[in-house]
Amino acid sequence: METRTFYPETGTELVRRLIEGREEKYYVLTLGCQQNEADSERIRGMAEAMGYSAAEAPEDASLIVVNTCAIRRHAELKALSIVGRFKAIKTARAETVIGICGCMAAEPHMVEHIKKNFHFVSFTLEPNRLFRLPSLVATALLEGRRSFVLGEDDGTVAEGLPIRRTSDHRAYVSIMYGCNNFCSYCIVPYVRGRERSRESAAILEECRALVESGVKEITLLGQNVNSYRADMSFASLISAIAALEGDFIIRFMTSHPKDVSDELIEAMRKYRGKIAPCFHLPLQAGSDRILKDMNRTYTTAHYLSIVEKLRAAVPDIVLTTDIIVAFPGETEEDFLGTLSLIERVEYDMIFSFIFSPREGTRAARMEDLITEEEKNDRMARLLALQREIALKKNLSYLDRTERILVDSEAREGEGNYIGRTAGGKLVRFTDRESRIGQFINVKITKATPFDLFGEAIQ
């Protein structure tokens, strides 16, 4: 695996000199998943290295970057509508540079659409070439030329990009990029390219420095972290991070059931307290026939065997999942299979989505005969079932004392602070003073399907 350092990238110094003494500002808008949030932190880092400072609102910025998502049609429509709104800013200030990054910027038909219909957009940049941002800004500023970076991905892992993190106590650490699985519904392998892993030494050093700087929660990121493969396995990597000194917890996402190893489960048992007792394990569907059509390459029986092992190793583990409702060809019987699996596993939380055909994927060419009414009905039934299960799960926390990491002040609703349990459950609680960024004990006093409520123990 080739790993090269691409930073500082040529454009950075150029832009720095161009905007020197002008107090120029940047604004980054992030849509989509944690991977995009992590990329946005790199975009902010690069913008600051170029000499821009953070703007409160897009109107105040002369560099605007929209980091887009392409996972479902809805996400794309949202991105296009947001970008459309920025046209007025460009009209008011012609020298504003507006760029589009993220997964939508890696879809040829979308880039074509932007090229033709969004003349105020200065550049699009596919996610695997993020380090080229400064040179695109330089091109826009110096030549007023538009750039469209697409299809350049050569499997390079860029190290050394500056990062402006949004939190002092929680941090994302990307460990691998891309996906090789080609689940038949999914656009990710097309927009994020093939799997490539960062070297463990670079990851370990990043984690060590984060912990030293006071970070209390590290989330390891990758489209499929369990297929991390550099000079060691994911289980070895997470164990090495867990062995670092300091009071912090490690989370990771996302995992493909086919790659969850016994070694990883053993590491979770061994490093309890360090590796958070939670697991996001996307099921997608509870019917073996649909799983096959989805190209998921596991059966429901295999999936259940992982759940059993996880629960044996970490008894109070918090399990969450992703479900796609109304995949092409899903019958009522298939759907009942999904409900029945949900009942068996009893997830703490489910992220459920109605199937959205993505251009270029295999499932987009499958015949979709399910009516809108039926799709919505299935979704409503799934949500109703999960609501019951989540409430039951959360009620079991009543009167328990949980060690939580305080995240922020609560802006609305009950309690004056918000934090998360080690298992990742959101807790709204009251405290006499701000202890943001610290682990504290909270007594749980109330539970709803989506939240826990409590009081800080002084």
Tokens found for residue 407: 């995240």
Choose between 73 and 85: whose C-beta lies nearer to ligand 5AD.
73
Which partner in ligand 5AD, ligand SF4, none is near 131 (CB below 5 to 8 A by kind)? none
359 binds ligand 5AD (CB under 6 A): no
- C-beta of 364: minimal distance to ligand 5AD in Å? 8
Shortest CA distance to 378 belongs to which of 390, 366, 370? Answer: 370
Q: What is the DSSP string of 398-415?
A: TT-EEEEEEEEE--SSSS
Which partner in ligand SF4, ligand 5AD, none is near 181 (CB below 5 to 8 A by kind)? ligand SF4
Which partner in ligand 5AD, ligand SF4, none is near 256 (CB below 5 to 8 A by kind)? ligand SF4
Count of residues of this chain found to bind ligand 5AD when the rule CB under 6 A is applied? 12
Choose between 3 and 34: whose C-beta lies nearer to ligand 5AD.
34
Whether residue 108 is preceded by a cis peptide bond, meaning omega within 30 degrees of 0, is: no
Binding-site member from 198, 274, 358, 425 for ligand 5AD (CB under 6 A): 358
Which partner in ligand 5AD, ligand SF4, none is near 355 (CB below 5 to 8 A by kind)? ligand 5AD
- C-beta of 185: minimal distance to ligand 5AD in Å? 4
List % helix, strand, coil for the chain (3-state, nearest 5): 40, 25, 35
Tokens found for residue 40: 């946005």
Which partner in ligand 5AD, ligand SF4, none is near 71 (CB below 5 to 8 A by kind)? ligand 5AD
With contact defined as beta carbons under 8 Å apart, do 323 and 353 qualify? Answer: yes
Which partner in ligand 5AD, ligand SF4, none is near 450 (CB below 5 to 8 A by kind)? none
- Interface residues with ligand SF4 (CB under 6 A) are 179, 181-183, 186, 188-189, 223-224, 256
Rounded distance between C-alpha atoms, residue 66 and residue 372, angstroms: 31
282 binds ligand 5AD (CB under 6 A): yes
Shortest CA distance to 70 belongs to which of 59, 61, 78, 62? Answer: 78
Shortest CA distance to 98 belongs to which of 191, 27, 23, 44? Answer: 27
- C-beta of 283: minimal distance to ligand 5AD in Å? 9
Choose between 358 and 428: whose C-beta lies nearer to ligand 5AD.
358
Q: Tell me the residue type at 347.
A: Y
Binding-site member from 27, 131, 185, 279 for ligand 5AD (CB under 6 A): 185
With contact defined as beta carbons under 8 Å apart, do 409 and 434 qualify? Answer: yes
Which partner in ligand SF4, ligand 5AD, none is near 223 (CB below 5 to 8 A by kind)? ligand SF4
CB atoms within 10 A of CB 362: 16
Q: What is the DSSP string of 250-299?
A: EEEE---GGG--HHHHHHHHHTBTTB-SEEE---B-S-HHHHHHTT----
- C-beta of 111: minimal distance to ligand SF4 in Å? 21
Which partner in ligand 5AD, ligand SF4, none is near 157 (CB below 5 to 8 A by kind)? none
- C-beta of 215: minimal distance to ligand 5AD in Å? 25
- C-beta of 184: minimal distance to ligand SF4 in Å? 9
Choose between 157 and 405: whose C-beta lies nearer to ligand SF4.
157
Choose between 316 and 377: whose C-beta lies nearer to ligand 5AD.
377
Which partner in ligand SF4, ligand 5AD, none is near 189 (CB below 5 to 8 A by kind)? ligand SF4
Q: Is the dihedral of CA 178, 181, 182, 185 positive or negative?
A: negative
Task: Return the bridge partners of 233, or none.
Answer: 229
Site string for ligand 5AD, 316-355 (x = CB under 6 A): ------x-x----------------------------x-x
- C-beta of 178: minimal distance to ligand 5AD in Å? 15
CB atoms within 10 A of CB 398: 14
Q: What is the DSSP string of 34-61?
A: HHHHHHHHHHHHHHHHTT-EE-SSGGG-
With contact defined as beta carbons under 8 Å apart, do 160 and 137 qualify? Answer: no
Binding-site member from 67, 156, 223, 284 for ligand 5AD (CB under 6 A): 284
Choose between 108 and 273: whose C-beta lies nearer to ligand 5AD.
108
Choose between 195 and 431: whose C-beta lies nearer to ligand SF4.
195
- Burial 209-241, CB ≥16 within 10 A → b, else e: ebbeeebbbbbbbbbbbbbbebebbbbebbbbb
Which residues contribute to the site for ligand 5AD (CB under 6 A)? 71-72, 185-186, 282, 284, 322, 324, 353, 355-356, 358
